[in-house]
Structure 1
Amino acid sequence: MILKRSVPLPLLACLFASVAMPAQATTLEEAISAAMNHAPEIDAASADADAADARIKEARGHGLPSVTLSGTIGYGRLDPQGYFGLPASNVTPRAAQLTIEQPLFTGGRVSAGVAQAKAGSEAARAGETMTRSQIVVATVQAYGNVLTTRRMVTLYEQMTRQMEQIHRAARLRFEAGESPSTDVSQAAARLAEAQAALEAGRGLAVSADARFTNLTGLSPQDLQPVPENPAIPQSLDEALNIARANNPALAQAEAALDAARAGARGARAERLPTVGAFAEGSTIRDQFFPDYRADGATVGVRARWQLFSGGRVAAKITESDSAVRAADARARAARSAVDEQTISAFQGVRSAVLVEAAAASQAAAAAQARDSVRHEVRVGMKPQLDLLDAEREATAAAVNEVSAQSDRIVAAYRLLALLGR
C-alpha cells in the first residue's frame, strides 16, 4: 500500500517562491516600446491621419455618380369646383422622384480637391511620425533623468555621510584642543550644503520618476544602464541628405505647399462650367385632381455656368494665391531650419561623446585626488578644508559623469528624430 502525505500550504508557498523568476530589469528599448503603446498623443495623431485619409475618399466621391431619392406625401381635400364634372373628395397627394447623376466635367474642381486631400493626408502622416519621434526623444530623456537623479541621490548620500564623519572628527579635535573652531564651522557649512544637495536630488528623482511613468506607464524600477548610441550617419553630408528626404517637419511644410497649390487650382476651377449626365424617374398621384396619375422618365445632360459672382471667385483666387506664397515661404524656412538643426544635432552627438569621455576621466581623477587628500589630511600634511573641497569636487565630477551619459544618448536620439527615424 502507498502512503500519501499532504504538504502544508505554507511550505508549498515557500517552495514556489524559492523558484520564482527574478524581476526583469527594464531596458531603454523596452521603455521606448512601452511609450509607443501608452502615449495618448500617438493615438490622437493616428486618428488625425485616419481622418485625413477619409477626406481623400470624400474628395473622390464628388466625381462619382450620385443617386437621390425624394418624395412627398400628404392628406387633404380637393374640390375642382365642378371642373370636368369632378366632385370634391378627400385625397392623399404623393410624389416620388429618383435621380441618378454623373459629373462629366467639373473644370478641375474634383482633381484639385483630391490633390488637396492627399496633401493633407501626407501632412497628417508626417505629423504622426513627428509625434512618435518626439515621444521617443522624451522617453530617452526621461530614462536618462531617472538614472541620473538616482545616481545623484546615491552620491549625495555618500557625500553627506562623509561630511558627517568629517564634521564629527573636527568637533572632537576642537574639543581636544588640536584644531581651531574654524575647522568645525567649515565642516558644518559643507555638511549643510551636502544635505541641501541631497534633498534637492531627491526632489528631482521624484519628478523624474513621475515623468517616466507618465510617458511609459511603467514603474521606473531597476533600469538598465544607458546603452551605446544607436547607428547614426558617419558624415554630416549623409545626415543632411537623409534629413532633407525624411524629416517629418519638412514633409509637413512641403505637404502644406502642395495643398495650397491644389487649393489655388480649385479656386480657378470655379470660373468654369460644370456638366453632368442625369437620368430621372418620377411618379405622381392625386396631385391636381382626384385619382390623378402621372409617371415620367428623363435622360439628359445638365450644365451650370455661373457668369457673375459679385467678385467672390476673384477674391477666392487672390486668397489662394496668397496662401501658396505663404506656404512656399514656410517650406523654404523649414528647409533652412532642418539643415541648421541637423548640423547642430550631428555636432552635438560628437561633442556629447567627447564630453562623456572627459567627464569619466575627470570623475576618476577627482576620486583619486580625494583619496589622496583624505590620507594627507589624516597624517596632518593638509588642512581639513582641502578634504572638504576634495569631497565636493569628487561628488560633482561623478554627477557630471552620469549626466554626460544621459546627454550622449539623448543627443543621438534627437539626431535620429531629425532624420525621420
Structure 2
Amino acid sequence: MLNSRRGGLLAAVCSAAFICGLAASPAAAETLADAIALAYDSNPTLQAQRATQRALDENYVQARAGYRPSLSVTAGATYQETRTPAAARGLTIDTNGDGVADARGAGIQEGNSGSAALSLNQPLYTGGRVAAAVSAAEADILTGRENLRRVEAQVLGTVITAYVDTRRDQETVRIRQENVRVLERQLEESKARFEVGEITRTDVAQSESRLSAAQSLFQLSQAQLAISRANYVAVVGQSPSDLAPEPSLASLLPSTVDQAFDTAQVDNAQIRAAQYAEQASKARVAGARAERMPSVSLTARLGYTGGAEPFDSDLYSRNVTGGATVTLPLFSGGLTNSRVRQTIERNNVDRIGVETARRAVLQNLTQAWSQLTAARANIGSSDTQVRAARIAAEGTRQEQQVGLRTTLDVLNAESELRAAELAQVNARHDEYVAAASVLSQMGHLEASRLTPNVPRYDPKSNFGKLRITWGWVPWEEPIAIVDSVFVPQPVEKPAPKPAPTAQ
C-alpha cells in the first residue's frame, strides 16, 4: 500500500513538473552541479556504501582486541543431597520390638557451596596471528574506500547521464513540436493552394502524411522524456525543472589517450582496490604461517569458595593464582600446512586480479576515448549539417513560392533540417557522456572535482574515531610492535592528485 502511494506520488510529481516545464521556465534554472550535490548528499546507493564502509572500519577494532586483556567473572552455587540406605551402611531397624529387623532406613546428607572468580588474560605475543589480522583488516578498509570511490563515480556518472538525457529529450520534444507546427502550416497552405487549383490532391495527401508521422514522433519523444525524467528522479531524488546547459569537462580531460592511460593506472578505483585486496590476502598468508609460532600470555585469577546457605563471608576461602603460559603447536595433522597453501593460492588469485582489473580498465578507457573522439567529430559535422539544412529549407520554401519547387521538396527539406537538428543534439549528448566515462575510468569522476564547494564525505574521519576506543590500553602498542615483526604491513597509496574543476 505504501509503495503504491509512493509510486503514485512520484508519477504525479513527474507529470506536474513535465507540464510546468513545457508551459513556462522557472526563474532559476537547475544546474548539473545542483543535481550532483543533491545526489552526493542523499543518493541511497551512495549512502548504503558509506554505511558499509563504516561497518568495515569495525574490523580493525575487532582485530586489535587480540592485543588487549580480557576480564571475566564467574559465579555459581551448588546444592547436593546424598541418600544412603541403612543396609548399605550395615544397619538394620526393628520397629515393633520383636528382635527381628523389619525395615531399613536411609541416611540423608545435604550440602551446598558457592564460588566466585575473577579471571584476567593478557596476551604478550601471538606469533603474529593478531598482527596479521590487523594488517588484513587495514588492507580491507583501504579496499573498501576504493570501492566507495568506485560507487561514487558510478552514481555521479548516472547523474550526469540522467541530466544530459533529460536535456537531450527536452530538446527533442522542442524540435518535434516545432516540426509539427511547421507541418501544420504547410498543410494549411497546401489546402489553400489546392482550393485555387495550384497543386493537386496528391500534394495535400503528402502534407497530411508527413504531419501524421510528425505527430506520432512528437508523442514518442514526450514518452521518452517522461522516462528520462523518472530516471533523473531515481538517482537525484527530485524531479528536474528547467535544466541549464551542462558545464564543459574539457579542463578535467587529458590532451592525449596516453596521459589518460597513465592516470588510470594510478588513480582508477578498481585497480587500486585490487591492489589493496592483494595486500590483504598477503597478510592472511602471514596469519596462516603464524599458526606454527608459539604464543605467550599472562593469566591471573582471584577466586572465593564457601557455603552458599547460610551465607557467611568470613567462612569463604580465597584463592589467588597467576602465571605465564607458553603454547607451542607441534602437530596439527597437516591442517596448518593446508591453510598456508590455501592462503598462498588465494593471494595468487588476488595478484592476478590486479592485472585483470588493469586490462579491464584500459579496455573500458579505450572504448570511452574512442567514443569521445567520434562524438567530437560528429559535433562538428552536425553543426555544419544544421547550418546547411536551414539554408536549404529556407531556399526551398522560397523557391516553392515561385513554382520552382514542389510540396514534396519542401517536406523533404524540412525533414532533413529536423534530422540534422536531432543529430546535433545527440552528438552533444554523446560527447558529454563519453567525457564523463573517460573521467570515470581515469578515477577522476568525483564530487570534489565536479562540485568543489560541496562538503566532501571523508571515510577516514570515522576510522580516525576508532583508533582509540573503549577497551584501548596503553601497553597494546609495544605488544603490537613485537607481534608484527614478521607480518607485512599494508601500504596506502597516495590519494589522486587534485585537478582543475569543471567550468
Which TM-score applies when normalising by structure 2? 0.73
Aligned residue type for 1:220: P
Matched-pair contact (CA < 8 Å) for 1:38–1:215: no
- Counterparts of 1:63 and 1:77, CA distance in 2: 41
**Does residue 298 of structure 2 align to residue 259 of structure 1?**
no
Equivalent residues in 2 for 1:24-103, closer than 5 Å:
24-74=28-78, 76-77=79-80, 88=109, 91=112, 93-103=113-123
Q: How many Å apart are 1:205 and its aligned residue?
A: 0.6
**Does residue 253 of structure 2 align to residue 236 of structure 1?**
no
Moved more, 337-346 or 378-387: 337-346
What is aligned with 2:403?
380
- Counterparts of 1:324 and 1:89, CA distance in 2: 63
Identity across matched positions, percent: 29
Matched-pair contact (CA < 8 Å) for 1:226–1:406: no
**Does residue 276 of structure 2 align to residue 272 of structure 1?**
no
Structure 1 residues 106, 80: closer, same or farther in 2, change over 3 A? farther
- Counterparts of 2:49 and 2:249, CA distance in 1: 28
Moved more, 98-107 or 123-132: 98-107
Aligned residue type for 1:272: M
**Does residue 338 of structure 2 align to residue 315 of structure 1?**
yes
What is aligned with 1:19?
none
User: Secondary structure at 1:213's aligned position in 2?
Assistant: helix
**Does residue 172 of structure 2 align to residue 152 of structure 1?**
yes
Equivalent residues in 2 for 1:20-419, closer than 5 Å:
23-74=27-78, 76-77=79-80, 88=109, 91=112, 93-231=113-251, 232-286=253-307, 293-419=316-442
Gaps of 5+ in 2: 1-25, 85-107, 445-503
Moved more, 196-205 or 329-338: 329-338
Aligned residue type for 2:398: H
Q: How many Å apart are 1:309 and its aligned residue?
A: 3.1
Moved more, 127-136 or 174-183: 174-183
Q: How many Å apart are 1:246 and its aligned residue?
A: 1.2
Structure 1 residues 24, 290: closer, same or farther in 2, change over 3 A? closer
- Counterparts of 1:34 and 1:265, CA distance in 2: 44
Matched-pair contact (CA < 8 Å) for 1:226–1:405: no
Moved more, 161-170 or 112-121: 161-170
- Counterparts of 1:69 and 1:190, CA distance in 2: 89
User: Secondary structure at 1:295's aligned position in 2?
Assistant: strand
Gaps of 5+ in 1: 1-21, 82-86
User: Secondary structure at 1:52's aligned position in 2?
Assistant: helix
What is aligned with 2:7?
none
* Residues paired across the two proteins, number: 393
RMSD: 2.5
Moved more, 186-195 or 367-376: 186-195
Which TM-score applies when normalising by structure 1? 0.86
CA shift digits 1:117-140 (9 cap, x unpaired): 111111111111111111111111
- Counterparts of 2:83 and 2:332, CA distance in 1: 44
CA shift digits 1:71-95 (9 cap, x unpaired): 2234x356699xxxxx95563x222
User: Secondary structure at 1:104's aligned position in 2?
Assistant: strand
User: Secondary structure at 1:62's aligned position in 2?
Assistant: helix
- Counterparts of 2:388 and 2:381, CA distance in 1: 10
- Counterparts of 1:290 and 1:102, CA distance in 2: 33
User: Secondary structure at 2:425's aligned position in 1?
Assistant: helix
- Counterparts of 2:160 and 2:374, CA distance in 1: 18
